[in-house]
Amino acid sequence: MAVGADYPIATSLLAEFSPRKWRGPLLGFFVTMWFVGAAVAYIVGEALLHTHDGWRWMLASAALPATIIVLLRLGTPESPRWLLKHGREEEANAVLLKVYGAGATVADLPEEVHENLRVGALIKAGYGKRMAFITIFWTCSIVPLFAVYAFGPKILGALSLTGSLANYGSAFITVMFLVGCLVALFFVDRAGRRPLIIHSFVWAGLALLLLGIFPSAASWIVLVLFAVYAIMIGGTQILQWVYPNELFPTEIRGSAVGLASSLSRIGAAIGTYLVPEALSHIGIGPTMIIAAVVTLIGAGVSVAWAPETRGLTLGESAALGSKTPVRSGATV
């Protein structure tokens, strides 16, 4: 519950304090560090596994990064946008002065929706389509990824990569997930959000489809296809935190991100449960084809609904029906 609450809070603050030029890469880097942490966790877990009561040390070890984060976050300022919307203009100006220096005031904040509406009211006002888009694309992105990540050795074993080769293959795929996020960070502002998410889904889905059609391919082909999937899916991974924070106004940004994350985790949990069942009952080929179909559904939803928010202020990107063009050289 604590980690789940941190997701929307941390990313919302990051989105609000980031200049528009760096907002996409900074939010995407948040996801990239998740894979760094996952890789480190494998190493730490392997080391603790061989100690007495290793499982206890594994659980207790989570307190170390948590303590470091608490100390680093001491003095974190409140959102000036939130303060302003609650009539606390003097406090908002103090935060802007602390973060950006002399001369920064609430007058520099771009306009946003001023009504303090609840999530339900805003959804009825037209934000329901955005919530549906984010929830569906997020679910289609993480269901196959969580399945591949959680059952990597088992999946690779079903594809005839057994023993140490399966473990090394899983480690290789993990590194490729990280590489994919780094590649996506490079393109998120250069190519734009919409082209990035569409291409990411399409090419990742085709890689899974080929794995499903040719489950008996040579080991190196299997690893190459998994690598293509891991790298190409990186675009959808970083946009899981970029889009939700850009498409909703300040008063519901944290709640909207939390709701979308929660709804997507339902699909992820179901997918994680069904993967071993699918491997046992229908085999690796059909399982990979199902994963490909889920991924390509994400592509279709993105083609239909994904907006382009590159270069927009948070107010502009959150506004319904905004057609504001990208403005080169914009910094706030």
Give the per-residue SS3 of the chain: CHHHHHHHHHHHHHHHHCCHHHHHHHHHHHHHHHHHHHHHHHHHHHHHHCCCCHHHHHHHHCHHHHHHHHHHHCCCCCCHHHHHHCCCHHHHHHHHHHHHCCCCCHHHCCCCCCCCCCHHHHHHHHHHHHHHHHHHHHHHHHHHHHHHHHCHHHHHHHCCCCCHHHHHHHHHHHHHHHHHHHHHHHHCCCCCHHHHHHHHHHHHHHHHHHHHHCCCCCHHHHHHHHHHHHHHCHHHHHHHHHHHHHCCCHHHHHHHHHHHHHHHHHHHHHHHHHHHHHHHHCCHHHHHHHHHHHHHHHHHHHHHHCCCCCCCCHHHHHCCCCCCCCCCCCCC
Residue at 270: amino acid letter: I
Quote the pTM value: 0.74
Rounded distance, CA 8 to CA 53, Å?
Answer: 34
Q: What is the CA radius of gyration of the chain?
A: 21
Q: Other CB atoms closer than 10 Å to residue 98's CB: what's the count?
A: 12
pLDDT of residue 165: 56
pLDDT of residue 239: 92
One pLDDT digit (tens) per residue for the chain, 332 residues: 787 778 778 877 887 887 777 888 888 887 788 777 877 776 787 788 788 888 899 889 889 988 998 899 888 888 887 788 788 888 888 888 888 888 777 777 766 544 445 656 566 667 888 888 999 999 999 888 877 766 666 666 665 655 555 556 666 777 888 899 899 988 998 899 999 999 999 999 999 999 889 888 887 787 788 889 989 999 999 898 889 888 887 777 777 778 887 887 787 777 777 877 887 888 878 888 999 999 999 999 999 999 999 888 877 888 876 544 444 334 44
Rounded distance, CA 329 to CA 4, Å?
Answer: 35
Q: Look up the CATH number of domain 6-76+110-318.
A: 1.20.1250.20
- CA–centroid distance for 142 within its chain: 9
Rounded distance, CA 254 to CA 11, Å?
Answer: 8
pLDDT of residue 332: 46
pLDDT of residue 298: 95
- CA–centroid distance for 125 within its chain: 26
Every domain of the chain and the residues it spans? 6-76+110-318
Rounded distance, CA 56 to CA 232, Å?
Answer: 37
pLDDT of residue 295: 95
Dihedral sign for Cα 130, 136, 140, 142, please: positive
